[in-house]
Amino acid sequence: MPSAWGTSEAVILALFFAVQILYSLSMIAHVWFRTMPKNMVEQADIDAVDRSSLPFIVLFYPVLRELETTMRTTFRTIANIDYPATRFRVVAIPNANDRETVESLQRLEEDFQFLEILQVPATSDPSWQVVWDAWDSNPKAYWWHQGARAGNCSLPPKKTRQLIYAFYQTAASFHGKEEFLVNYIDADSCPPRDHFLAGAAGIKKFDVLQAQNIAGNLLGSMASTWHAVDHMAWDGLTYPHISADGKQPFWVLGKGLFFKASDLVELGGFHPWTTIEDPEVGMRFWINGKRIGIIENPLIEEVPTTIAQGITQRKRWVCGFFQSLSAPLKFMGYTPWQRFRAWLNFLPCLSLAVNSVGFPLGVWAIWSQWRGDNLIPEAGVWLALGNIAALSLVLVSLYVSIWKRSRLVLDSRLKRAWYLVRVNPLSLMLWWLIWCIPLWIGFRMFRKDEGLVWERTVKIDANHDLIRSDRGGDSLPMDGEALPAAAAVKTGG
């Protein structure tokens, strides 16, 4: 370091090394995830399913103030699912006081014979007693027995509360009859034709199954382009490695998953006091010896079309991640090493803030060295070079994955190429910088114990144009087939 440097320059140098070291750790974590094995539900598994002994499946559909057109689009895809009608139920679970959504569902019930509606009452209703009784007798429902909210019946009004009520009511109706698989999706989720068959096949090998997700409106706006790339990078590329032959604590994605109802009863149901239920319930499955398998054929969903809506959604994710990785891990009996492994699942998300600073700082250091300014010691320049090389490899693998996966929802190579242009490295740097906002807000929500009320992500029925006419029914393009533009039809309301 030049002797002319003073205290302020020394601080800058220390910050440079701190950022680059953090950047190196995040890159190591990315590489480490990619080296772990993937446990997939293969097409051969689906093809080999014995259709004479298919498990019964109950699909829960939690909704809150949703557009009727959005729900209609989802139900049209469910109507085309390849599974015997006598072996599944679709149960919409609106809040009883959400009259507009209830009325929309009642109208939809006339067109879709498989649809059932289970209205979720206030927790003061006597029908909730089945939940309190189940938790009373189950120590794995640790939030009911320990902590500041032990025995608190005033569950916060959000998706998790709806799932809890619907699950225990349904489990009680099945008691003494037969096992059933639980599946749930979001209001805008469009499952593939073989979704239930994949669940039937995978449950023979794994305890929990998770379908991947992909955005159907990834070209709708620049904001939706950025929001969609999160699913490309996490759901489609990194997340499958979290299965890891059962060695890594896993999260679920909050939609498109399957598990045996008896397993969830045994583990205490869903935790009502976290902003999102996804990471906590997955880690509870793992610590109790359950393994996860990944279903490759994804649900198609819509992502927010504005930056503000995306921040609203992502701040809740971040808050839920922090909540699930704190006290719940101790209550569940995680060892320090297991807690560290669980925290690694959050690192790719946390590293987005480092990306936005580490990359430009590295470029600056290399440029300064090339010009002969010698502002950064040689070791720092080499560290920056290594980080940029690692990021380049990560981006190449991401772009290859995007090119392959985008054909599920884009019907031409030109559109797929245009999406790649929109998520060029400079564009991603800006998106990662924006990600700092929900990271900070989500952490602040965690510190203030906020995020318990359902703050919904606005859905606009962005994917209805992906519906096409196929043999007299509506369906999405499946099995890697891109949707021909000429086949797209408006489905509207």
For position 475, what pLDDT does the model report?
Answer: 42
Tell me the H-state helices in 406-487.
413-422, 425-447
Token pair recorded at residue 40: 């997939």
Categorize the per-residue pLDDT at 489 as very low, low, confident or very high, splitting at 50, 70 and 90. very low
Q: Which of 92, 86, 31, 98 is nearest to 60 (CA)?
A: 92
Q: How far apart are CA 346 and CA 251, in angstroms?
A: 10
Q: Which amino acid is at 429?
A: M
- 40-316: CATH homologous superfamily? Spore Coat Polysaccharide Biosynthesis Protein SpsA; Chain A (3.90.550.10)
Categorize the per-residue pLDDT at 4 as very low, low, confident or very high, splitting at 50, 70 and 90. very low
Specify the DSSP class assigned to residue 479. Answer: T
Q: CB of 20 within 8 A of CB of 172?
A: no
Q: Where are the beta strands (DSSP E) in 8-156?
A: 40-41, 56-62, 88-93, 115-117
Categorize the per-residue pLDDT at 467 as very low, low, confident or very high, splitting at 50, 70 and 90. low
The neighbouring-strand residues paired with 468 are 475, 488
Q: Which of 319, 399, 389, 387 is nearest to 26 (CA)?
A: 387
Q: What are the tens digits of pLDDT across the range 369-384?
A: 777 766 777 787 788 8
For position 8, what pLDDT does the model report?
Answer: 63
For position 6, what pLDDT does the model report?
Answer: 56
Please state the pTM of the whole predicted model.
Answer: 0.88
**Is the dihedral angle over the CA atoms 21, 24, 28, 30 positive or is it negative?**
positive
CA 139-142-144 angle, to 5 degrees, is: 95
Q: In the chain, which segments carry CATH 3.90.550.10?
A: 40-316
Does 10 score more than 60 pLDDT?
Answer: yes
Mean per-residue pLDDT for 273-291?
96
Q: How far apart are CA 4 and CA 7, in angstroms?
A: 10
Q: What are the tens digits of pLDDT across the range 296-329?
A: 999 999 999 999 999 999 999 999 999 999 999 9
